[in-house]
Amino acid sequence: MSELYNVLNEPEMRDPALILALSGWVDAGTAGTAAAEFLASGSEEIVRFDGDSIFDYRANRPVVRFRGGRMTEVDWPSVAIHHCPLPERDLLVMVGSEPDFRWREFAEATADLMERFGAELIITIGAIPAAVPHTYPPPVMMTASTDALVGGDDVALDDDLDVPGAAVNVVADAAVRRGMGTLGYWAQIPHYVNEEYHAGSLALLQRIALRLDLNLDLSDVVAARNEQAEKINEAIADRPESRAHIEKLEMLAEEGRLASGDDIAAQIEDFLRES
């Protein structure tokens, strides 16, 4: 047992890949963590990180649940790895709250676990707020440690970009230094949506399925996306200014004018300033 984690089980695996999503600024609309939780649903937890070692509970407070006036549960922030055996291959899904402390050790520990379980590819997923409309599928940017990992349908980010780092980036860096392959998929979600954004999760899951040649049943996510889109449309129906703004975003999307690296950096700075 490492100081940072406890391995609960070590099952046999077939060509495992690690999917990584953590809460934080790079998880706008919880699109990344919701996608990872969808993949991990019903699977076995095989690694749990020690929360007391990596979280500041004043900044990342546990949720205390009261039912009928009685405290029934304390839900602590956590990070865990789940084993998801699929017909095509095995997945390791690492999901949870972004650590507050010991990012370097956390990253090296994750790389150690990848080597231990035989995973040679890590796919980090997340989302950023952007000037995109909810009426179009979210654009998904892609980063890769080598050009060979860029697929034909991927939109690889090739601009220079300086943004505040996230723990998932540090983990990916540790994996690259161990000679592993890393991919990152980052959905751009409407800056005016302030809740879990199902279309963002769907876009990330579709990218993972395409990249790993997986046959995933995404019907529940599709239904959630459609229902949410209807609610957003109803909310803006009587707001002329909102409708005009979205129509402008639709024109940009129709023209295929994707955000540049400078545009993305500016949008991220605005988001972090307002958070």
Q: Where are the domains of the chain?
A: 5-274
Percent of the chain exceeding pLDDT 90 equals 75
At what angle are helices 198-212 and 219-236 packed, to 10 degrees?
Answer: 150
Tell me the per-residue pLDDT of 28-53, one tens digit each, with 9 for 90 and over.
Answer: 999 999 999 999 999 999 999 999 99
pLDDT at 80: 98
* Total Cβ atoms within 10 A of residue 20: 27
Q: What is the mean pLDDT of residues 52-68?
A: 96
Between residues 191 and 161, the one the model is more confident about: 191
The answer for residues whose C-beta is within 8 angstroms of residue 114's C-beta and 6 or more apart is 18, 92, 120, 122, 175, 178, 180
The whole-angstrom separation of Cα 23 and Cα 59 is: 13
Other CB atoms within a 10 A radius of the CB of residue 155 amount to 13
Distance between CA atoms of residues 222 and 206, nearest Å: 11
Decide if 23 contacts 67 (C-beta within 8 A). Answer: no
Model pTM greater than 0.85? yes
Question: What does the pLDDT read at residue 137?
Answer: 93
Q: With cut-offs at 50, 70 and 90, classify the pLDDT of residue 90.
A: very high
Q: Stretch 137-159: mean pLDDT, rounded?
A: 84
Nearest to 261 by CA among 166, 184, 126, 161: 161
The CATH class that applies to domain 5-274 reads: alpha beta
Q: What is the structure's pLDDT at 153?
A: 78
Average pLDDT over residues 119-129: 96
Tell me: pLDDT of 88 over 70: yes
**pLDDT at 41 (0 to 100):** 96
List 140's β-bridge partners, or say none.
187
| Mean pLDDT value across residues 65-78 | 96
User: What would the 3-class secondary structure string for the chain be?
Assistant: CCCCEEECCCCCCCCCEEEEEECCCCEHHHHHHHHHHHHHCCCEEEEEECHHHHCCCCCCCCEEEEECCEEEEEECCCEEEEEEECCCCEEEEEEECCCCCCHHHHHHHHHHHHHHHCCCEEEEEEEEEECCCCCCCCCEEEEECCHHHCCCCCEECCCCCCCCCCHHHHHHHHHHHCCCEEEEEEEEEECCCCCCCHHHHHHHHHHHHHHHCCCCCCHHHHHHHHHHHHHHHHHHCCCHHHHHHHHHHHHHHHCCCCCCHHHHHHHHHHHHHHC
Tell me the mean pLDDT in the region 111-137. 95
Supply the pLDDT for residue 79: 98
**Range 218-233 average pLDDT:** 96
pLDDT of residue 165: 87
Per-residue pLDDT band for 266 (boundaries 50, 70, 90) equals low
pLDDT beyond 60 at 136: yes
pLDDT at 106: 98
Q: What is the mean pLDDT of residues 126-151?
A: 91
Higher pLDDT: 213 or 150? It is 213
